[in-house]
Structure 1
Amino acid sequence: MGGAVSAGEDNDDLIDNLKEAKYIRSEQVEQAFRAVDRGDYYLDTYRENAYKDLAWKNGNLHLSAPCIYSEVMEALTLRQGLSFLNLGSGTGYLSTMVGLILGPFGVNHGVELHKDVVEYAKERLEIFIKNSDSFDKFEFCEPKFVVGNCLEIASDSHQYDRIYCGAGVQKDHENYMKIMLKVGGILVVPIEDQLTQITRTGQSSWESKDILAVSFAPLVQQNRADCSKPETVELPPVTIRSLQDLSRIYIRRALRSLIDEASPATQRVPHKRRRRRCRRGRISTYVFVGNQLIPQPMESEEEDRVEQEIKEEVEEEDEEKEGSEEQPLKPEELRINLLREKILSLPLPDALKAYLLHYREK
């Protein structure tokens, strides 16, 4: 499923469109989406399609449409310190965004069927930590991924505050996933072509709410024809952070606070960027058939009117820009990583600076 909003030119453009279409509704979800560039999770040869509201599949790699991930993030109602389990964690794109909200004292686990996809996710995660300035703007709960079938998780595994399943679930597997929730926890899962939010209200009580009509490939079930015993999936342990980790977290937090107090001007919002309006008049649904995406477009009779509105909006923004005295931040100002610069300026040994930078190479 996808195509609910118009294509963007970059990640910010895509997020603007998702906001206008009301898929992104909360500030924390918007910040997480802007912090993680969707294009970084595509293979280079397919990156030009990263900012379209479409699902993507190449071999075992798969990303759901941005509008789906938006609804999932909103429905999970995340906050700092929660535990999260991603069933079918794929490229790690969603888990990384979730980690920016959970903070350093949350739990962020993913189970993925294909070993090559887990390796891909770990590679993308390492690139994000080493190269993305967003890593220094948030306190991050780093995802941990394991290989295995999410229908074979050990029965004595710990429970989670939030769970998402990225594949279609049959009704007979619904209870299996609900049991992994803590009381008060939320499960977001596609069931019978509906993205559904399930809240555990008691030891044996749940409440369900349909969110969005979707089309997901079904969960891969274990083949029992050979009568062999399935391999049990052991989830990562929930560990207590070491004193060394805690030291880094609190030192970086203190430095961020100093930067915010000393440089309030750096919080100034740059001039509003020109963006494309969301074209709700044209909606296309994309369904997986084998390994291909088959588009089913619906042309709108209002397309000419929408184009005219876009033209008028651009003209109005140009007039506003000409009449405004506020100057936008220069590109070099936007690129400065203030936390990194502060750490490098401290009178500390290089080894300690490297430790505080969290092995960043940039």
Structure 2
Amino acid sequence: MGGAVSAGEDNDDLIDNLKEAQYIRTDMVEQAFRAIDRGDYYLDAYRDSAYKDLAWKNGNIHLSAPCIYSEVMEALKLQPGLSFLNLGSGTGYLSTMVGLTLGPYGVNHGVELHRDVVEYALDKLDYFIKNSDSFDKFEFCEPVFVVGNCLEIATDSHQYDRIYCGAGVQKDHENYMKVLLKIGGILVMPIDDQLTQITRTGQSNWESKNILAVSFAPLVQQSRGDGEKAPDSVQLPPVTVRSLQELSRVYIRRTLRSLAPDDDQDKSAPRVPQKRKRRRCRRRRINTYVFVGNQLIPQMVDSEGEDHNEEEHSKEPEEEAEGEERDIGDIEIIKQVNLLRDQILALPLPEPLKAYLLYFREK
């Protein structure tokens, strides 16, 4: 599914569109989306499509449309310190955004069927931690991924405050998912072509709410021949207490971050004004986009969701030409400074300790 908002030119542009279409409604969700560039989770050959509101699939690698992820993040109602389970964790894009919200004392686990996708997710996670300046704006709950079928989780597994399933769930598997949820917890998953929010209000009591019409590929069920041995149950990662060393790093970074100026890293540098006016969009429902093999088959409906201004578009070449002739000195570009990093580097500490406090960051 996708195509509910107009395409963006970069990650910030995409988030602006999602906000304008009311898919992103809270500051917490907006901050998480802006912190992680969706394009970093695409293969380089497909990065030009990263900021469209469309799903993407290449082999086993798959990303849902941005409007889906934003609705999921809003529906989960995440808070620091909660435990989260991502069933079908894929590239780790959603799990990483969740980790920015849970903070250092949360739990962030994912189960993914394909080993090559887990390896891809770990590479992307490592790149984000070591290279993204936005990482230092948050206290992070690092995701832990395991390989396995999420329909074969061990029956004695612990329960979670929040759960998301990224594949279509059949009715006969609904209760299986619910058992993994704590009382008071929230489960978001696709059932009968509806993204559904389920809240566990008691031992045997549930409240359900449909969020959005969607089309997801169904959960994969292992087919076994007669007499074939059943695979081992999937063991979820253990819930462990952080080491004293890790707690010290969290506390030191938190203290230094609190000492930064009031107008520090939470405020982004001013963006250079766009040369052309972006088409405005209104929230609307679009028929689903369905993957058949590796082909994306759109089923569009008529919509009046975009306001076209032919006069503005006809002036684009002139405006761009003028922009090329204009002296770049007329535009003040303010480079963002990573204040937390600078403060750590200024500490009178051994270099290995500074490297540890910086999560061995590369820039």
Task: Describe the superposition over 1:12-66 as per-residue Cα deviations: whole angstroms up to 9, x where unpaired.
Answer: 0000000000000000000000001000000000000000000000000000000
For residues 242 and 352 of structure 2, the distance between their equivalents in structure 1, rounded to whole angstroms, comes to 21
Give 3-state SS (helix, strand or coil) of 1:331's partner. Answer: coil
Partner of residue 106, structure 1: 106
For residues 122 and 268 of structure 2, the distance between their equivalents in structure 1, rounded to whole angstroms, comes to 33
State the Cα RMSD in Å: 2.3
For residues 93 and 268 of structure 1, the distance between their equivalents in structure 2, rounded to whole angstroms, comes to 23
For residues 236 and 75 of structure 2, the distance between their equivalents in structure 1, rounded to whole angstroms, comes to 24
Q: Which amino acid aligns with 2:343?
A: K
1:12-91 equivalent positions in 2, closer than 5 A: 12-91=12-91
Q: Is the CA contact (8 Å cut-off) linking 2:198 and 2:208 kept in structure 1?
A: yes
For residues 34 and 309 of structure 1, the distance between their equivalents in structure 2, rounded to whole angstroms, comes to 31
Partner of residue 288, structure 1: 291
Q: Which amino acid aligns with 1:232?
A: S
> How much does 1:302 deviate?
7.1
Partner of residue 189, structure 1: 189
Deviates more, 1:278-287 or 1:84-93: 278-287
1:236 matched to 2:237? yes
For residues 345 and 52 of structure 1, the distance between their equivalents in structure 2, rounded to whole angstroms, comes to 41
For residues 337 and 13 of structure 1, the distance between their equivalents in structure 2, rounded to whole angstroms, comes to 22
Q: Report the CA distance shift for 1:94/1:309 in structure 2 as closer, same or farther (over 3 A).
A: farther
1:140-179 equivalent positions in 2, closer than 5 A: 140-179=140-179
Identity, % of aligned pairs?
75
> How much does 1:228 deviate?
1.9
For residues 286 and 95 of structure 1, the distance between their equivalents in structure 2, rounded to whole angstroms, comes to 24
> How much does 1:109 deviate?
0.2
5+ residue gaps, structure 2, are 320-329
Q: Is the CA contact (8 Å cut-off) linking 1:82 and 1:161 kept in structure 2?
A: yes
Q: Which amino acid aligns with 2:355?
A: A
Q: Report the CA distance shift for 1:112/1:267 in structure 2 as closer, same or farther (over 3 A).
A: closer
Q: Is the CA contact (8 Å cut-off) linking 1:108 and 1:144 kept in structure 2?
A: yes
Taking structure 2 as the reference length, the TM-score comes to 0.90
Partner of residue 309, structure 2: 308
Q: Is the CA contact (8 Å cut-off) linking 1:109 and 1:145 kept in structure 2?
A: yes
For residues 163 and 90 of structure 1, the distance between their equivalents in structure 2, rounded to whole angstroms, comes to 15
Q: Which amino acid aligns with 1:235?
A: L
> How much does 1:346 deviate?
1.5
> How much does 1:278 deviate?
4.1
Q: Is the CA contact (8 Å cut-off) linking 1:99 and 1:108 kept in structure 2?
A: yes
> How much does 1:196 deviate?
0.2
Task: Describe the superposition over 1:53-81 as per-residue Cα deviations: whole angstroms up to 9, x where unpaired.
Answer: 00000000000000000000000000000
Q: Report the CA distance shift for 1:210/1:353 in structure 2 as closer, same or farther (over 3 A).
A: same
For residues 304 and 259 of structure 2, the distance between their equivalents in structure 1, rounded to whole angstroms, comes to 55
Partner of residue 260, structure 2: 259
For residues 271 and 16 of structure 1, the distance between their equivalents in structure 2, rounded to whole angstroms, comes to 14
> How much does 1:144 deviate?
0.2
For residues 354 and 23 of structure 1, the distance between their equivalents in structure 2, rounded to whole angstroms, comes to 38
Q: Which amino acid aligns with 1:256?
A: R
Taking structure 1 as the reference length, the TM-score comes to 0.90
Q: Which amino acid aligns with 1:250?
A: Y
Task: Describe the superposition over 1:224-260 as per-residue Cα deviations: whole angstroms up to 9, x where unpaired.
Answer: 3243212210000000000000000000000001113
> How much does 1:348 deviate?
1.5
5+ residue gaps, structure 1, are 319-326
Q: Is the CA contact (8 Å cut-off) linking 2:166 and 2:189 kept in structure 1?
A: yes
For residues 107 and 114 of structure 1, the distance between their equivalents in structure 2, rounded to whole angstroms, comes to 22
Q: Is the CA contact (8 Å cut-off) linking 1:17 and 1:276 kept in structure 2?
A: no
For residues 231 and 6 of structure 1, the distance between their equivalents in structure 2, rounded to whole angstroms, comes to 45
Q: Is the CA contact (8 Å cut-off) linking 1:13 and 1:276 kept in structure 2?
A: no
Q: Which amino acid aligns with 1:38?
A: R
For residues 300 and 176 of structure 2, the distance between their equivalents in structure 1, rounded to whole angstroms, comes to 37
Partner of residue 207, structure 2: 207
Task: Describe the superposition over 1:273-322 as per-residue Cα deviations: whole angstroms up to 9, x where unpaired.
Answer: 5473443479564111122211223354675xx1129949x99xx9xxxx
For residues 190 and 312 of structure 2, the distance between their equivalents in structure 1, rounded to whole angstroms, comes to 39
Partner of residue 6, structure 1: 6
For residues 242 and 357 of structure 2, the distance between their equivalents in structure 1, rounded to whole angstroms, comes to 16
Partner of residue 94, structure 2: 94
Give 3-state SS (helix, strand or coil) of 1:150's partner. Answer: coil
Q: Is the CA contact (8 Å cut-off) linking 2:279 and 2:308 kept in structure 1?
A: no
Q: Is the CA contact (8 Å cut-off) linking 1:54 and 1:66 kept in structure 2?
A: yes
Q: Report the CA distance shift for 1:95/1:279 in structure 2 as closer, same or farther (over 3 A).
A: same
Q: Is the CA contact (8 Å cut-off) linking 1:2 and 1:285 kept in structure 2?
A: yes
Q: Is the CA contact (8 Å cut-off) linking 1:271 and 1:328 kept in structure 2?
A: no
For residues 69 and 105 of structure 1, the distance between their equivalents in structure 2, rounded to whole angstroms, comes to 23
Q: Which amino acid aligns with 1:351?
A: P
